[in-house]
Each structure stands twice: as structure tokens, then as C-alpha cells.
Homo-oligomer: A and B are copies of this chain.
């Protein structure tokens, strides 16, 4: 019996990765006189992943990786106006509107009547705070947890803090790495809603995993039906 449903936010409740994808394209264009766009995008991806250990997630981390990439792509000859363009992309991304995923508000509104809802989102506190406020969804959730990373130990800590039993907990998200596998590993349930543009890092899983250990739906508006079905069986 499910009592608490937790939602990831970025690319589960609102669009996020498309902002990064657009900014990557802008950077690749900006530097296209130095290197082919594909080269820049690949180098940026590698730089971002390498820098996670120093910077963590979020747009400011991404901005610092863009600058590092631009230095390398231009062989150290980057110009002031090109750097300024990167700073502008960063501020634009940080100030962008929050675009809800179609069906997200209707779904959380419907489920909030019957279940305790929690939002568990990974990333930069300042950036996520802002998006939570702009989303208009905060009031549907009993708790909003912004964490710097999502691991099984982290989920166990959150469940303990809120006195939730793993078998009464269901997590919904678009990242196998962050939302699904660590939740299944602690004996809770998880619903995977793939998002077309998910950053590869979030779904590159080195170990094999059991595809039948979690549920998968195509869009968030299918969630209430799935949950009704689970509760009956």
C-alpha cells in the first residue's frame, strides 16, 4: 500500500534539459570558427562530467564547464566578447521561465487528495528554490527536498527523517541513475517516465539492472491510473 509519492522535478514536472541543450548549441555556434560544433559539444559533455566532483550539478557549474571548454576549443585565444556571450547565456538560462510538463499540474493535483506528496530534486539550491516558486506547484507538496545528489543512502535518510516506510513509498522520475535504481535498491517502488532529452549521464548505467523491478509509463498523466492499478493488485 502506497502512502507517499515523491516526484523528481527537472524533466519530470517541468522542462529543464532543453535549456541546457539550447545553451550547448549556442556555445557550439559561437565557437564554430575554431572547431566543428560536434567537437565542442562532446568536449563540453566530458568537461561537465569530469567537473561534477568539484562543482556538483546546476547551471553555474555548467557555465564554468562551458568556459573551460571554450578555452580549450580556442586554444587559449578566446576573445572577451565570446566570454561575455557565455556569461549572457548563463544569466538567460538562470532567468528562464519555468515550463511545466503537460499534465504535471493536473496529476499532482489529483494525487495530492489521496497521498502525501514530496518533491525530491537534485541540483543547485538557489536555482531549484527559484524554479519551485515559479512552478506554482509548491502547495501540492508536503515537503520539498533539494539535495545535492541522489543515492540509496540519501533516500534512506529522507525516508527516516519523514518516518516513511520504504514499502509505502513510490518515486517518480526521468532518471534511471537518480530516481529509479537507488529507490528500487532500498525496497521501495519507482515509476520511470523517460524524457526525450534526458542528459546521457543520467541514464548511462554501468551495471546491468532488472528492467522489471520498476514501472515505466510514457507520460505523467498515466500515473494516477497506474497507481490505482497497483493498489488493486
Interface residues of A (CB under 8 A from B): 54-58, 60-61, 63-64, 67-68, 71, 74-81, 83-84, 87, 90-91, 94-95, 124-127, 129, 146-148
CA distance A83 to B68 in the complex (A): 8
Of B56, B68, B83, B126, the contact of A78 (CB 8 Å cutoff): B83
Residues of B close to A68: CB separation below 8 A: 87
CA distance A81 to B74 in the complex (A): 12
A-B contact pairs, 20 of them (CB 8 A): A54-B90, A54-B94, A55-B126, A56-B124, A56-B127, A57-B126, A60-B61, A60-B64, A63-B64, A64-B87, A67-B67, A67-B87, A71-B83, A71-B87, A75-B80, A76-B81, A83-B83, A124-B125, A124-B126, A125-B146
CA distance A95 to B94 in the complex (A): 25
Residues of B close to A67: CB separation below 8 A: 67, 83, 87
Residues of B close to A63: CB separation below 8 A: 64
CA distance A78 to B84 in the complex (A): 12
Q: Residue of B at shortest CB range from A61?
A: B60
Residues of B close to A61: CB separation below 8 A: 60
CA distance A67 to B78 in the complex (A): 13
CA distance A211 to B63 in the complex (A): 42
B79 touches A76 (CB 8 A): yes
Residues of B close to A147: CB separation below 8 A: 125
Of B64, B79, B87, B148, the contact of A90 (CB 8 Å cutoff): B64
A115 → B minimal CB distance (Å): 20
CA distance A123 to B196 in the complex (A): 32
A79 → B minimal CB distance (Å): 7
CA distance A98 to B64 in the complex (A): 23
Q: Residue of B at shortest CB range from A78?
A: B80
A167 → B minimal CB distance (Å): 26
Residues of B close to A58: CB separation below 8 A: 60, 126
Residues of B close to A127: CB separation below 8 A: 56
